[in-house]
Each structure stands twice: as C-alpha cells, then as structure tokens.
A = this chain, B = another copy of it.
Amino acid sequence: MASTPKARPAGIRDEVAALKRARTIEAAVELFYEHGYENTTLDAVAERMGVTKPFIYAHFSSKTELLAEICSRAITSSLEAIDSVIPLKSSPTDKMRLLGQRFVTAVLTSQMHMAIFSREEKNLNPADWERINDMRRDFDRKLTGLINDGITSGEFKLHDARMAALAIGGMVSWAYVWYRPKRRLTLENVSEELSAMILQMVTGAPQPVA
C-alpha cells in the first residue's frame, strides 16, 4: 500500500487547491465587478482562466459560494482594521486617526470586493447573508464602542455614538464608488484626507492633515 507520508504531499495538494481557489476568485471578482453577478456566467469565469466550467465545480459547490467568499473578504478586511486598533493603549483620538487610515486602506485595497458585497447582497444564500451581516454588525459595534470612549473622555463632541459610527462607516465605505486607482489621488492621499475629516468631525476641532 503506497501510503504517502502525511506532511509533504498533503501540503502540496492543499497548496495547489488553494491556488486554484484563489485564481478562480480573482477571475470572478473582476467579472462580477465589471458586469455584475447575474450578468457573469461561470463559463465566462472559466474562460478567463483558460479552463472550463467543471474546473470551477471541482473547487466550489456553486456560483453563490464564490460570491459568499468574495463578500466575506470585503468585510473581513475592514474588521481586521478595527481589530488592529481597538486593543492599542492610546487615546481615543489617536486610535480614531489610525483607524481612519487603516479602514480607508482596507476599503480601497479591496475596492472590488466591497462593491460586489454592496451590490450583490441579495444573491447570497440566507446562511451566508446572516454570517456576513453579523460581521458587519460586529464592526459597527466596535466602532461605536471606540466613539463612546472618546465621548466619555471628553475628546469627542458627539451625542449619538451609534449614528456617528454609521456616518463614518458610510463616508469611508462609499469610497469604493468613486475611488479610481491611478487618478489624481493616491491611496495615501485619500486615507490621510478622509481620516483628517473624520477627526475634525468627531472632535469638532481643527485637524491638520498629516
């Protein structure tokens, strides 16, 4: 019985599978972003990779699983941004400045994923929709918490933390609509400017742009 030693071959096989999944998702992201989910056939996704449809079905169980994966990544990247900031031992103001930068960066580096998530929510199956919207709520709760800290410390001049969180979330998330890489504004420009505006909004005080 040529039983293969566990570590290596399994590792390679997994890596290959992961690579195939990753490439499939990349192809899907571009096409879903460009034409919309329903207007993109799996034949087109396969063609973009130079394979045929059953290649995709070997790694994904359905078209909607591809979509769920893409949407997950969109909000995961925003969640990572806030999770990286919350535990720091700095003031709410400093945390908010950092969050602004990292959140904007997260949105813009996953711009296509964000766009797809915003547009195609209705095409997720209920279980994935639930799971992904829990993450969204988690993000809002954490941001609301940070804002409340700033209000308590007297640094933030706001009286509805939850609504401020939604305002900030919207102002940043919406950037997926208008941002165009390689136009006038670099990602760094946008991230500095938006986070300065956020600080000005929450502190009600002058904010120098870095």
Hey, which bits of chain A sit against chain B, CB under 8 A? 35-36, 38-39, 118-123, 157-160, 163-164, 166-175, 177-178, 185, 190, 193-194, 196-198, 200-201, 204-210
**Which chain B residues border A38 with CB–CB below 8 Å?**
36, 38-39
**Which chain B residues border A36 with CB–CB below 8 Å?**
38, 122-123
Q: List 7 A-B contacts (CB under 8 A).
A: A119-B122, A166-B174, A166-B178, A167-B171, A170-B177, A208-B210, A209-B209
**Which chain B residues border A164 with CB–CB below 8 Å?**
197
Q: Cβ of A167 and Cβ of B208 under 8 Å apart?
A: no
| Nearest CB in chain B: distance from A27 CB, A | 17
| Nearest CB in chain B: distance from A209 CB, A | 6
Docked Cα-Cα span, A163 to B189, in Å, equals 10
Known: A166-B178, A190-B163. A206 touches B171 (CB 8 A): no
Docked Cα-Cα span, A118 to B170, in Å, equals 13
Q: Cβ of A166 and Cβ of B157 under 8 Å apart?
A: no
**Which chain B residues border A118 with CB–CB below 8 Å?**
118-119, 177
**Which chain B residues border A172 with CB–CB below 8 Å?**
170
Q: Cβ of B175 and Cβ of A206 under 8 Å apart?
A: no
| Nearest CB in chain B: distance from A68 CB, A | 16
| Nearest CB in chain B: distance from A7 CB, A | 46
**Which chain B residues border A123 with CB–CB below 8 Å?**
36, 39
Of listed A38, A197, A198, residue having the most chain B CB within 10 A: A197
Known: A163-B190, A200-B200. A122 touches B39 (CB 8 A): yes
**For residue A34, which residue of chain B has the nearest CB?**
B122
In the A-B complex, the 7 residue pairs with the closest CB atoms = A170-B174, A205-B206, A36-B122, A201-B201, A38-B38, A200-B204, A171-B171
